[in-house]
Amino acid sequence: MSRLSRQVQPAETYLAKLTEADWATLMKREVLLKGSKGQYGVMVATPVDAGIAWAVLTDYDNFYRFLPSVAESRVVEKEGDRTVVEQLDRRRILLSTMESLVRTENLEIDRQQISFRLLEGNLEYMYGHWRIDPSPSDRGDLNLLLVSRAGKGRGRCWPL
Protein backbone atom coordinates (compact mmCIF):
# COMPACT_ATOMS: atom_id res chain seq x y z
CA MET A 1 0.00 0.00 0.00
CA SER A 2 1.25 3.43 -0.89
CA ARG A 3 1.92 6.20 1.59
CA LEU A 4 1.47 8.79 -1.14
CA SER A 5 -1.59 11.00 -1.07
CA ARG A 6 -4.23 10.43 -3.74
CA GLN A 7 -5.29 14.06 -3.45
CA VAL A 8 -4.96 16.26 -6.53
CA GLN A 9 -4.86 19.97 -5.76
CA PRO A 10 -6.94 22.17 -8.08
CA ALA A 11 -4.89 23.69 -10.90
CA GLU A 12 -5.95 27.14 -9.72
CA THR A 13 -3.80 26.57 -6.61
CA TYR A 14 -0.62 27.04 -8.60
CA LEU A 15 -1.91 28.89 -11.67
CA ALA A 16 -3.06 31.83 -9.52
CA LYS A 17 0.54 32.33 -8.38
CA LEU A 18 1.87 32.86 -11.91
CA THR A 19 2.78 36.41 -12.88
CA GLU A 20 2.29 37.96 -16.32
CA ALA A 21 6.03 37.46 -16.89
CA ASP A 22 5.61 33.76 -16.03
CA TRP A 23 2.77 33.45 -18.54
CA ALA A 24 4.86 35.23 -21.18
CA THR A 25 7.62 32.65 -20.64
CA LEU A 26 5.16 29.77 -20.93
CA MET A 27 3.47 31.15 -24.06
CA LYS A 28 6.91 31.25 -25.74
CA ARG A 29 7.10 27.53 -24.83
CA GLU A 30 10.13 28.15 -22.65
CA VAL A 31 10.72 26.30 -19.40
CA LEU A 32 9.62 28.17 -16.28
CA LEU A 33 11.54 27.37 -13.06
CA LYS A 34 10.23 28.64 -9.74
CA GLY A 35 11.36 27.99 -6.19
CA SER A 36 14.51 27.73 -4.14
CA LYS A 37 16.28 25.75 -1.43
CA GLY A 38 15.30 22.37 -2.83
CA GLN A 39 11.61 23.13 -3.34
CA TYR A 40 11.13 23.70 -7.04
CA GLY A 41 8.40 23.78 -9.61
CA VAL A 42 9.21 23.44 -13.28
CA MET A 43 6.51 24.16 -15.83
CA VAL A 44 6.25 24.11 -19.61
CA ALA A 45 3.36 24.72 -22.00
CA THR A 46 2.99 22.32 -24.90
CA PRO A 47 0.60 21.82 -27.80
CA VAL A 48 0.96 18.05 -27.32
CA ASP A 49 -2.26 16.22 -26.55
CA ALA A 50 -2.64 15.45 -22.81
CA GLY A 51 -3.05 11.73 -23.58
CA ILE A 52 0.26 11.61 -25.43
CA ALA A 53 2.01 13.55 -22.65
CA TRP A 54 0.57 11.10 -20.10
CA ALA A 55 1.79 8.10 -22.14
CA VAL A 56 5.32 9.53 -22.17
CA LEU A 57 5.32 10.35 -18.44
CA THR A 58 4.17 6.84 -17.54
CA ASP A 59 6.65 5.07 -19.84
CA TYR A 60 8.97 4.52 -16.88
CA ASP A 61 11.27 2.07 -18.68
CA ASN A 62 12.16 4.82 -21.16
CA PHE A 63 12.80 7.76 -18.80
CA TYR A 64 16.40 7.77 -19.98
CA ARG A 65 15.18 8.78 -23.45
CA PHE A 66 13.69 12.12 -22.34
CA LEU A 67 15.07 12.99 -18.88
CA PRO A 68 18.58 14.31 -19.56
CA SER A 69 20.32 13.08 -16.41
CA VAL A 70 18.68 9.62 -16.32
CA ALA A 71 21.13 7.04 -17.71
CA GLU A 72 19.02 3.93 -17.00
CA SER A 73 15.49 3.23 -15.79
CA ARG A 74 13.41 0.11 -15.24
CA VAL A 75 10.12 -0.89 -13.65
CA VAL A 76 10.74 -3.05 -10.58
CA GLU A 77 7.13 -3.55 -9.50
CA LYS A 78 3.68 -2.66 -10.86
CA GLU A 79 0.38 -3.03 -9.05
CA GLY A 80 -2.66 -1.12 -10.28
CA ASP A 81 -1.88 2.61 -10.32
CA ARG A 82 1.33 2.14 -8.27
CA THR A 83 4.69 1.60 -9.99
CA VAL A 84 8.12 1.21 -8.41
CA VAL A 85 10.93 2.42 -10.67
CA GLU A 86 14.69 2.12 -10.29
CA GLN A 87 16.78 4.68 -12.09
CA LEU A 88 20.41 5.60 -12.40
CA ASP A 89 21.00 9.34 -12.57
CA ARG A 90 24.30 10.55 -14.00
CA ARG A 91 25.32 14.20 -14.15
CA ARG A 92 28.45 16.19 -14.67
CA ILE A 93 29.38 18.47 -11.76
CA LEU A 94 32.50 20.55 -12.29
CA LEU A 95 35.19 18.09 -13.38
CA SER A 96 33.49 14.95 -12.06
CA THR A 97 30.62 12.78 -13.16
CA MET A 98 28.33 11.90 -10.26
CA GLU A 99 25.93 8.97 -10.10
CA SER A 100 22.96 8.31 -7.88
CA LEU A 101 20.85 5.17 -7.87
CA VAL A 102 17.29 5.57 -6.62
CA ARG A 103 14.13 3.54 -6.34
CA THR A 104 10.94 5.59 -6.41
CA GLU A 105 7.29 4.86 -5.82
CA ASN A 106 5.02 6.48 -8.42
CA LEU A 107 1.27 6.76 -7.91
CA GLU A 108 -0.82 7.62 -10.98
CA ILE A 109 -3.95 9.64 -10.20
CA ASP A 110 -6.79 10.17 -12.69
CA ARG A 111 -4.46 10.43 -15.73
CA GLN A 112 -3.63 13.91 -14.45
CA GLN A 113 -0.99 13.57 -11.73
CA ILE A 114 1.86 11.25 -10.80
CA SER A 115 2.96 11.58 -7.20
CA PHE A 116 6.40 10.18 -6.43
CA ARG A 117 8.64 9.59 -3.45
CA LEU A 118 12.01 8.04 -2.76
CA LEU A 119 11.84 4.47 -1.42
CA GLU A 120 15.56 3.81 -1.32
CA GLY A 121 18.78 5.07 -2.78
CA ASN A 122 21.74 7.26 -2.07
CA LEU A 123 19.72 10.49 -1.65
CA GLU A 124 18.43 11.77 1.68
CA TYR A 125 14.90 12.26 0.38
CA MET A 126 12.96 13.19 -2.72
CA TYR A 127 9.26 13.58 -3.32
CA GLY A 128 6.92 15.57 -5.50
CA HIS A 129 4.66 15.17 -8.49
CA TRP A 130 4.22 15.52 -12.22
CA ARG A 131 0.90 16.82 -13.46
CA ILE A 132 -0.83 17.81 -16.68
CA ASP A 133 -3.45 20.56 -16.75
CA PRO A 134 -5.12 22.48 -19.56
CA SER A 135 -4.19 26.14 -19.60
CA PRO A 136 -6.97 28.60 -18.74
CA SER A 137 -9.10 29.45 -21.79
CA ASP A 138 -7.77 33.02 -21.90
CA ARG A 139 -4.18 31.72 -22.19
CA GLY A 140 -4.46 29.67 -25.35
CA ASP A 141 -5.05 26.07 -26.27
CA LEU A 142 -2.01 24.51 -24.63
CA ASN A 143 -1.51 21.89 -21.96
CA LEU A 144 0.64 22.78 -18.99
CA LEU A 145 3.07 20.18 -17.74
CA LEU A 146 4.18 20.82 -14.17
CA VAL A 147 6.95 19.04 -12.34
CA SER A 148 7.02 19.92 -8.69
CA ARG A 149 9.78 18.53 -6.54
CA ALA A 150 9.66 19.03 -2.85
CA GLY A 151 12.65 18.11 -0.79
CA LYS A 152 16.28 18.83 -1.31
CA GLY A 153 17.07 15.63 -3.12
CA ARG A 154 20.61 15.98 -1.92
CA GLY A 155 22.70 13.22 -0.54
CA ARG A 156 25.60 11.00 -1.25
CA CYS A 157 26.59 10.68 -4.88
CA TRP A 158 29.37 8.53 -6.16
CA PRO A 159 32.03 10.14 -8.34
CA LEU A 160 32.97 8.06 -11.37
Residue 156 pLDDT? 45
Instruction: For the chain, list residues with pLDDT below 70.
Output: 1-3, 5-6, 38, 148-160
Is 47-159 a CATH 3.40.50.10680 domain? no
Which pLDDT value is given to residue 160? 41
Task: Quote the CA–CA distance of 27 and 9 in Å, as a whole number.
Answer: 23
> In the chain, what are the domain boundaries?
47-159
Print burial letters for 93-127: b (CB count within 10 Å at least 16), e (below 16). Answer: eeeeebebbbebbbbbbeeebbbbbbbebebeebb
Q: What is the pLDDT of residues 65-91, one digit of tens each?
A: 988 889 999 999 999 999 999 999 887
pLDDT of residue 141: 76
Q: What pLDDT score does 85 carry? A: 97
